Chain A
Amino acid sequence: MHEVTHETRNNLPPTLVAEFTELCTHYPERRAALIPALHRCQEELGGWLSPETLEAVAGFFELEPVEVFGVASFYPMFHLRPRGKHLVSVCHNISCDLRGAQDILDEACKASGCTPGGTSDDGRFTLVRVECQGACTSAPMLALDGVYHEGITPEDVHRILGGVQ
């Protein structure tokens, strides 16, 4: 059982609490599970880390919320503001750039209705430019909700983004 030692306004769902309790056993110090736990929260709790989520996580790890915020804000994969239903990440680093990342980005903007860094009006997409994703030998690439699409052409972008709800 998870012992509640902090009075928290917001609580994590019991499934996540169980998961994190197990996760903590992988390490001699519980805090080490913080970043994997933040990943899971982002996956399960709306695609971003809201102040309420961060506070609940802080409660679980017995840390100050500001400490958890400090960690979360360091890492580009964590979203601290609400985002669209689907996340489109286009790599704009060197190997992708040499093979047409700019065209992929332009198409992705058109197909998603986003500007880079922005969310589409219908809330379906958020589009971000990301640094090297380790797909350099099959550049250019984009990731849709974390799933890589590699060696793509601008035409592919419409097919990939067109296929989601």
Chain B
Amino acid sequence: MTRESHPTYLLDRTRLHDSHTLDVHRKNDGYRALETILKEGHSPEQVIDLIKNSGLRGRGGAGFPTGLKWSFMPDANKDRRARYLVVNADESEPGTCKDRVLMEEDPHGLIEGILIGCYAMRIRAAYIYVRGEYRFAYDRVAAAIEEARRANLLGKNILGSTFSCEIWMHKGAGAYICGEETGLMESLEGKRGHPRPKPPFPAGFGLWGQPTTVNNVETLFNVPFILDRGAEWYQSMGTENSPGNILIAISGHVERPGVFEVPLGISAREVLEDCAGGVWKGRRLKAWIPGGSSTGFLPASEIGLAMDHESLKNARSMLGTGAMIILDETACTVRSMEILSRFYEHESCGQCSQCREGTQWLTQILHRIENGQGRMEDLDLLSSLASGMAPGKTICALADAAAIPTHSLVRHFRDELEEHVRRGCCPVPSSPGPAAAPPRSPSVEVKA
């Protein structure tokens, strides 16, 4: 199967000239699903049932069933509190840059998804939390919101119906932790992005303590297509448990890096070979990351794995954000892990000691191994540290995000770690050596 041979929908409109404008959007079926719902008077419950039946799963990393999440919102007749939809456009997981494409090239598709979600959950206000660095994406979505408002697709009595809804843009300020849904809500409230203990869950106690649903950009982007074309159509793509198409951002050592739309369940090899043109410069594959930095390193021998939730879970990894990162034979996995660890150290909010200290220690150990000062005991120390951090030992999953790749390195690239220690230097000739020191200096030195 080649890239062209499967049906697509997510990126179709983005290839059109001026795809970001309302005019082009509407000429290409845009807002048709919303119009149908409002004109034909579909009930919110019908919409939620359809999304449930489609099997759509969240694209923000955890793969939670979207219809089920929506159904957790309390009954609006009994619970009269204000309620919110929060759109997670923080996109900061290293390797991930797919929501950006949707926001920049088809912002109205996102707006329609938001409106349908709000209709289904009887929500009247949505916030799009965009990472602060995404200026262009922010401007595109903001302009689209204005266009939609002028066309009565947004605001009071949308398209003459009884449905009213507002969408507000909100700018983050560069903290990865604000992609975690409760950290995001704290940040949106104007505070430090400290994740909240769960329970209570956002559906009961979210933004300002009110019922809230948090969804990823790509998740919501799928919604109008499902409404328009049906659950059966949706399930004709992808696998039984992971239906639909997904955007895969593939980066690193490939000929043609990019964001590609593929059916879930496609083999990683196909994405690498057919979409991205294979490993660059005719080199061999050494390691790959399937779904963003948190999902860990897999060896070249596993490139045949299917890109879906179950297959990657069985390989002790995750689909995550679907961001594949490719490392060729000249890359050093220890250096790459050191970079990731430094990232998690920098981004830890500091509330939980396992995460705050653990990420610092991991970075220190990886740094000394890459620097040729590692000891054999460090390998087990890495594993035991990672086991002390996750799973389920901290308020949020940032600690897991650091622990999973650490375990994967020791599991699959033990030889490379050992060679660093044995030789007393990085054995990869082309590697630039240890990564830059972390911005914060560790408080304690870890000894084996």
In the complex, identify which listed stretch (B25-33, B186-194, B361-369) lies at the interface while the others stay far away. B186-194
Q: Which 10 A-B pairs have the closest CB atoms?
A: A75-B173, A34-B190, A77-B174, A95-B251, A31-B190, A136-B251, A76-B174, A132-B94, A74-B192, A77-B173
Residue among A33, A93, A98 with max Cβ neighbours from chain B (10 Å): A98
Choose among B92, B100, B192, B251 the residue that contacts A139 (Cβ–Cβ < 8 A): B251
CA–CA, A71 and B174, complex, Å? 12
In the complex, identify which listed stretch (A7-15, A35-43, A119-127, A156-164) lies at the interface while the others stay far away. A35-43
> Does A64 have its Cβ within 8 Å of any Cβ on chain B?
no
User: 13 A-B contacts, Cβ less than 8 Å apart?
Assistant: A34-B190, A76-B173, A77-B133, A93-B293, A95-B94, A99-B253, A134-B91, A135-B97, A136-B249, A136-B257, A136-B323, A136-B325, A147-B135
Return A101 CB to nearest CB of chain B, in Å: 9
Q: B135 touching A129 by the CB < 8 A rule?
A: no
Q: Mark A18-59, 1 if CB is under 8 A from B, else 0.
A: 000000001111011111101100000000000000000000
Q: B208 touching A29 by the CB < 8 A rule?
A: yes
> Does B252 have its Cβ within 8 Å of any Cβ on chain A?
yes
CA–CA, A71 and B192, complex, Å? 5
Q: A92 touching B339 by the CB < 8 A rule?
A: yes
Chain A residues close to B by CB (< 8 Å): 26-29, 31-36, 38-39, 61, 70-71, 74-78, 92-95, 97-99, 102, 116-117, 129-139, 143, 146-148
Q: Which residues of B contact A148 (CB under 8 A)?
A: 136
Interface residues of B in 276-290 (CB under 8 A from A): 289
- Contacts A35-B171, A92-B339 known; A134 to B190 CB distance under 8 Å? no
In the complex, identify which listed stretch (B35-43, B113-121, B307-315, B340-348) lies at the interface while the others stay far away. B340-348
Interface residues of B in 213-262 (CB under 8 A from A): 249-253, 257-259
Number of A-B residue pairs, CB cutoff 8 Å, is: 144
CA–CA, A32 and B175, complex, Å? 16
Which residue in chain A gives the minimum CB-CB distance to B432? A102
Choose among A35, A38, A97, A102 the residue that contacts B336 (Cβ–Cβ < 8 A): A97
Q: B133 touching A146 by the CB < 8 A rule?
A: yes
Besides A32-B170, A33-B190, A131-B343, 9 more A-B contacts (Cβ < 8 Å) are A32-B189, A32-B190, A35-B190, A39-B171, A97-B435, A134-B96, A136-B94, A136-B251, A146-B133
How many interface residues does chain B have, given as a range?
Answer: 35 or more
Q: Which residues of B contact A133 (CB under 8 A)?
A: 133
- Contacts A29-B189, A71-B191, A132-B93 known; A35 to B208 CB distance under 8 Å? no
- Contacts A93-B339, A98-B327 known; A131 to B252 CB distance under 8 Å? no
Q: Which residues of A contact B340 (CB under 8 A)?
A: 94
> Does B109 have its Cβ within 8 Å of any Cβ on chain A?
no
> Does B143 have its Cβ within 8 Å of any Cβ on chain A?
no
Return B276 CB to nearest CB of chain A, in Å: 9
Q: Which residues of A contact B349 (CB under 8 A)?
A: 74
Choose among A94, A102, A131, A135 the residue that contacts B346 (Cβ–Cβ < 8 A): A131
Choose among A74, A78, A95, A116 the residue that contacts B95 (Cβ–Cβ < 8 A): A95
- Contacts A29-B208, A129-B436 known; A93 to B343 CB distance under 8 Å? yes
CA–CA, A34 and B172, complex, Å? 11
Residue among A132, A135, A137 with max Cβ neighbours from chain B (10 Å): A137
Q: Which residues of A contact B192 (CB under 8 A)?
A: 70-71, 74
Q: A139 touching B94 by the CB < 8 A rule?
A: no
Q: A35 touching B432 by the CB < 8 A rule?
A: no
Return A87 CB to nearest CB of chain B, in Å: 12
CA–CA, A132 and B340, complex, Å? 10
Q: Which residues of B contact A93 (CB under 8 A)?
A: 94, 293, 339, 343
CA–CA, A67 and B293, complex, Å? 33
CA–CA, A148 and B168, complex, Å? 24
Choose among B92, B193, B250, B336 the residue that contacts A74 (Cβ–Cβ < 8 A): B193
Choose among B251, B331, B347 the residue that contacts A137 (Cβ–Cβ < 8 A): B251
Q: B190 touching A71 by the CB < 8 A rule?
A: yes
Choose among A26, A76, A99, A132 the residue that contacts B175 (Cβ–Cβ < 8 A): A76
Return B131 CB to nearest CB of chain A, in Å: 7
Choose among A39, A116, A134 the residue that contacts B173 (Cβ–Cβ < 8 A): A39
> Does B134 have its Cβ within 8 Å of any Cβ on chain A?
yes
- Contacts A95-B325, A98-B253 known; A134 to B92 CB distance under 8 Å? yes
Q: B95 touching A75 by the CB < 8 A rule?
A: no
Q: Which residues of A contact B385 (CB under 8 A)?
A: none
Q: Which residues of B contact A98 (CB under 8 A)?
A: 251-253, 325-327, 331, 336
Return A88 CB to nearest CB of chain B, in Å: 14
Q: A131 touching B258 by the CB < 8 A rule?
A: no
CA–CA, A112 and B343, complex, Å? 25
- Contacts A98-B325, A138-B257 known; A131 to B94 CB distance under 8 Å? yes
Return A56 CB to nearest CB of chain B, in Å: 16
Which residue in chain B gives the minimum CB-CB distance to A131? B343
Which residue in chain A gives the minimum CB-CB distance to B330? A98
Q: Which residues of A contact B96 (CB under 8 A)?
A: 132, 134, 136
Choose among B134, B176, B432 the residue that contacts A131 (Cβ–Cβ < 8 A): B176
Which residue in chain B gives the minimum CB-CB distance to A25? B168
